[in-house]
A = this chain, B = another copy of it.
């Protein structure tokens, strides 16, 4: 792992923040410091690279951030490819700050920029994937996801308490625009009676049947739904993909599903939307360990001059994958997981659930 020429490395975090970014920053900085490499923290994602705004980032700065939510570097949705002259300015910042490498932590958008900077400009970039939605196909898990689902499970269990007291059906809307991983894990871990995922349209009759059976047995029922779920005839998922959240502000999933459920079951349904609450807070153990590992690995790729790659979790190993392929495909909930979900929420013909 010779890194003769590596003297200064910049780090940035872009796109939506999530728990685990700070452990990743810490891992990278400690690993680089160990080899005598200086680190710079770019302010607020690609904006910092465009404007040349950076702060020193020493081991002292990261000593106690492993348990902190968010990102100490700040973040933004700035994309140099969408700003007049943005890419040139990024290249200039590389020169001006004498950067030997840039570690860019972010989701699809951030990594897409990183990929192009490497491919088109040969800028020495390394990517660290981040998405609470866990929907990047090139890595098994991304940090932020475990924490997000953990927060959602806590909310779901609170809802069940009040649902049981009031003899109501409770519905929790969680994050997940393109893929239903958060809803899936929340539902499995909270023992939900039904889970609505963007991977398939809601079968209202099926949902109602299961909710009614659960309610009959236990005086309450719990439904977990992804934010981008279609009821029959709807195209919400498509609209969200195209236009983003703004278009749907007044009629979210929680509202539409509640209406459909009340109508179909005749039961009282109440909902809650977890929203931004899910983004913050101390990362879980899983996200701290994963964040630390990928941060260290990104540093080691930089030390090895192994640019144009993203670090990925494959089984138990943290490995490099080409940035190009990294952002190519969305990872949605596959058949094996759907089967598991269906089996756990099934109503057996022979032994009714909780009969």
Where the two chains meet, the residues of A that have a C-beta atom closer than 8 Å to any C-beta of B are: 13, 16-17, 19, 21, 26-27, 30-31, 33-36, 38, 44, 58-60, 63-64, 66-71, 74-76, 140, 146, 149-151, 153-155, 157-167, 170, 185, 188-191, 217-219, 250, 270-281, 284-286, 288-289, 292-293, 296, 314-316, 340, 343-344, 346, 348-355
Distance, CA A96 to CA B289, complexed state (A):
48
Contacts A/B (CB < 8 Å), 28 sampled: A16-B166, A17-B166, A21-B165, A26-B191, A27-B344, A30-B343, A33-B353, A36-B348, A44-B167, A59-B352, A64-B191, A66-B189, A67-B157, A69-B161, A74-B219, A75-B166, A76-B167, A146-B285, A153-B285, A153-B288, A158-B280, A161-B280, A162-B280, A170-B276, A188-B292, A189-B289, A272-B273, A285-B286
- Decide: B140 and A316 in contact? CB cutoff 8 A: yes
Distance, CA A275 to CA B217, complexed state (A):
26
Contact of A343 among B34, B69, B161, B274 (CB under 8 A): B34
In the complex this chain forms, how many copies of it are found? 4
Q: Nearest-CB distance from A345 to chain B (Å)?
A: 9
Q: Which 5 A-B pairs have the closest CB atoms?
A: A161-B280, A315-B315, A158-B280, A36-B350, A69-B161
Contact of A340 among B70, B275, B293 (CB under 8 A): B293
Distance, CA A344 to CA B288, complexed state (A):
13
- Decide: A188 and B289 in contact? CB cutoff 8 A: yes
- Decide: B58 and A355 in contact? CB cutoff 8 A: yes
List the B residue with the shortest CB-CB distance to A214: B63
- Decide: B64 and A159 in contact? CB cutoff 8 A: no
- Decide: B280 and A160 in contact? CB cutoff 8 A: yes
List the B residue with the shortest CB-CB distance to A281: B158
- Decide: B346 and A34 in contact? CB cutoff 8 A: yes
Contact of A63 among B69, B158, B353 (CB under 8 A): B353
Excluding A60-B217, A69-B161, A146-B285, 10 further A-B contacts by CB distance (< 8 Å) are A30-B344, A33-B351, A44-B167, A59-B353, A69-B158, A151-B158, A158-B279, A170-B276, A272-B277, A292-B344
Distance, CA A273 to CA B346, complexed state (A):
32
- Decide: B286 and A286 in contact? CB cutoff 8 A: yes
Complex contacts, A353 vs chain B, CB 8 Å = 30, 33, 59-60, 63
Complex contacts, A273 vs chain B, CB 8 Å = 272-273, 275
Q: Nearest-CB distance from A150 to chain B (Å)?
A: 5
List the B residue with the shortest CB-CB distance to A354: B60
Distance, CA A47 to CA B294, complexed state (A):
44
Complex contacts, A155 vs chain B, CB 8 Å = 277
Contact of A285 among B170, B185, B348, B351 (CB under 8 A): B185
Q: Nearest-CB distance from A39 to chain B (Å)?
A: 9
Complex contacts, A217 vs chain B, CB 8 Å = 60, 63
Complex contacts, A340 vs chain B, CB 8 Å = 292-293, 296
